[in-house]
């Protein structure tokens, strides 16, 4: 019986390490996407005309893929735990990124809002994703522009 308990503990430790690694990978992917976001020249007219950012599309696709794959192979509780931690990391990382985005006009704010709305619409399909999306949308809506400030 002691051998069984030892093997069970080793298995659980290994399983936990794999889950932590998945969370770390997704956190790193978010960091890469945020670096891309920080490179955006919000003053560029071509950028303002763009529908959404490629890095946001990539991030949402990766999260949806992770969720789909985990859902095939793991119990719902485990999937919720992993994805919940990913969303917790994203909330922290993306809040800072969206708060730090320098926008000067309402058109640029609308462009940033399209990215936030894409996050919400895609990730909102997953438990916890809608809360993240709404939080980011609220950050963008609260941003002031030089056009919205009194002269």
35: pLDDT confidence band, cut at 50, 70 and 90?
Answer: very high
pLDDT digits (tens, 9 = 90+) for 12-33: 999 999 999 999 999 999 999 9
62 found inside a domain: yes
Q: How many domains does the chain have?
A: 1
Determine the pLDDT at residue 147: 64
Determine the pLDDT at residue 68: 96
19 found inside a domain: yes
Determine the pLDDT at residue 51: 85
CATH classification of the domain holding 117: 1.10.357
Question: What is d(CA 83, CA 62) in angstroms, rounded to the nearest whole number?
Answer: 12
pLDDT digits (tens, 9 = 90+) for 50-99: 888 899 999 999 999 999 999 999 999 999 999 999 999 999 999 999 99
**Mean pLDDT in the chain?**
89
148 found inside a domain: no
150 found inside a domain: no
51 found inside a domain: yes
Determine the pLDDT at residue 150: 54
Determine the pLDDT at residue 92: 94
Question: What is d(CA 137, CA 122) in angstroms, rounded to the nearest whole number?
Answer: 13
63 found inside a domain: yes
Question: What is d(CA 84, CA 59) in angstroms, rounded to the nearest whole number?
Answer: 16
What does each C-alpha distance from 46 to 10, 42, 80 come to in angstroms? 54, 9, 39
143: pLDDT confidence band, cut at 50, 70 and 90?
Answer: confident
pTM metric for this prediction:
0.85
- Please tell me the total number of residues recorded for the chain in this structure: 151
10 found inside a domain: yes
Determine the pLDDT at residue 149: 53
Q: Residue 38: which domain range?
A: 2-142
């Amino acid at each position: 019986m002691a051998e069984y308990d030892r093997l069970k503990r080793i298995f659980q430790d290994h399983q936990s390490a794999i889950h932590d690694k998945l969370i770390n990978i997704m956190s790193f992917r978010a960091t890469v996407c945020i670096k891309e976001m920080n490179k955006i020249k919000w003053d560029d007219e071509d950028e303002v005309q763009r529908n959404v950012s490629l890095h946001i599309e990539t991030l949402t696709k990766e999260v949806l893929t992770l969720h789909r794959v985990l859902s095939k192979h793991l119990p719902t509780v485990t999937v919720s735990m992993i994805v919940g931690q990913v969303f917790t990391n994203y909330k922290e990382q993306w809040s800072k990124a969206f708060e730090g985005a320098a926008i000067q006009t309402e058109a640029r704010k609308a462009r940033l809002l399209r990215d936030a709305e894409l996050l919400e619409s895609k990730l909102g399909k997953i438990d916890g994703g809608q809360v993240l999306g709404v939080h980011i949308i609220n950050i963008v809506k609260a941003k002031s522009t030089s056009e919205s400030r009194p002269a």
